[in-house]
Amino acid sequence: MPAEITALRDAGEPVWIFAYGSLLWDAEFRDGTAERALLHGYHRSFCLYSCDYRGTPANPGLTLGLDRGGSCRGAALGLSKDALDRIWHREMSGRQVYAARLLPAHTANGLRQALAFTALRSCRDYAGKLSLDQAAHMILGAGGRRGTCRDYFENTLRHLEQLGFADRPLRRLAERVQALATSDAV
């Protein structure tokens, strides 16, 4: 953990994390305050291959990352030291696919400096911008030790919609996943 993050962790105050995907719904990390937040300069994207959590090396899935450009609605989570340690272990151990950055997240309570896990474009697991069909096929057909890629996708989309966050690119992807699932079932 970099010194800047360790200092925040050890300060005795909650550490703010910007949640944009599974951290919105994963109960393991819901031990603190949550505030709706907007992050500028990054957007939510299925831009990372998953060869472990949501896929395998032979059949990789996709996971979300914060990719450069645009903006992203999510939540700023004020977490305890223990919760931060668990998130750090989950997101930053093993193959490095994220850069942890302190970024300004806009909330109703003002600006929060929040730790955001942004996609590392230089890593070998960076998928970039895939076509709708490529992404839908990967989401539909992959699974790993944390479950299927489709369940991860649908849980994230459902929670975004429950929070009132419209994400048009994810909604289009969901429609394509459903169309492919329906055509495969025929």
Q: pLDDT by residue (tens digit) across 52-69?
A: 889 899 999 999 999 999
Q: Which of 19, 16, 35 has its CA nearest to residue 27?
A: 19
Q: How far apart are CA 81 and CA 60, in angstroms?
A: 32
Q: Please say if the pLDDT value at position 86 is more than 90.
A: no
Question: Domain limits of the chain?
Answer: 3-181
Q: Which of 44, 42, 40 has its CA nearest to residue 168?
A: 44
What's the rounded mean pLDDT across residues 33-48? 93
What are the Cα distances from residue 54, in Å, to 62, 63, 92? 7, 7, 16
Q: How far apart are CA 62 and CA 55, in angstroms?
A: 7
Phi, psi dihedrals of residue 140, rounded to the nearest 5° = -70, -35
Say how far residue 156 (Cα) sits from the centre of its chain: 9
Options 1.20.140.10, 3.20.20.450, 3.10.490.10, 1.10.760.10; CATH for 3-181 is 3.10.490.10
The 10s digit of each residue's pLDDT in 107-153 is: 999 999 999 999 999 999 999 989 999 999 999 989 899 889 999 99
Q: Which of 20, 40, 17 has its CA nearest to residue 167?
A: 20
What's the rounded mean pLDDT across residues 72-78? 92
